[in-house]
Amino acid sequence: MNVAVCVGCGETKEGPFEPCDGCGLDPARGGTDRMLQARSLWLSSRFFAEGMLPELGRRIREGEPVGYDLGMLAQLVEELKTQKLPTISRAAPGCSILTWSLLGMMLTLGAAAAFLYLHWRS
């Protein structure tokens, strides 16, 4: 399970790019704010044991430094640049299913039309 801490208020949430219930911060909607997304990704179960995350959340709530690794953040920003935006990639499976089912339907109709045409000619 993917667990993350909101970089804005320290609330625990389900994934780094999920909107926060506590303060409404939505890293995915930040669009090009990749540093915000990188920080969100860093404060997740990808980099910390799940047991560590509430402690990091507490530090954010109390305004203590959480010790961002700047080298790692720069690396994450690069990684995010080469990826589609989280919002887009989250929507993609649905889109491609729609595209493929439309394509499948067209192929089926095409095959049926060809069959009827050949049948009619003979």
Which residue ranges make up the site for Zn ion (CB under 5 A)? 6, 8-9, 11, 20, 22-23, 25
CB 60 to Zn ion: min, Å:
9
Q: Find the shortest distance in angstroms from Cβ 13 to Zn ion.
A: 8
Q: Which is nearer to Zn ion, 64 or 78 (CB)?
A: 64
Angle at which helix 70-82 crosses helix 34-42, to 10 degrees, equals: 120
Closer Cβ to Zn ion, 28 or 121, answer by number = 28
| Shortest distance, position 6 Cβ to Zn ion, whole Å | 3
Residue 14: DSSP 8-state: S
| Pairwise CA distance, residues 91 & 85, whole Å | 10
Which is nearer to Zn ion, 36 or 76 (by Cβ)?
A: 36
In three-state secondary structure terms, 4 is: strand
Which two three-digit tokens encode residue 75? Answer: 């690396």
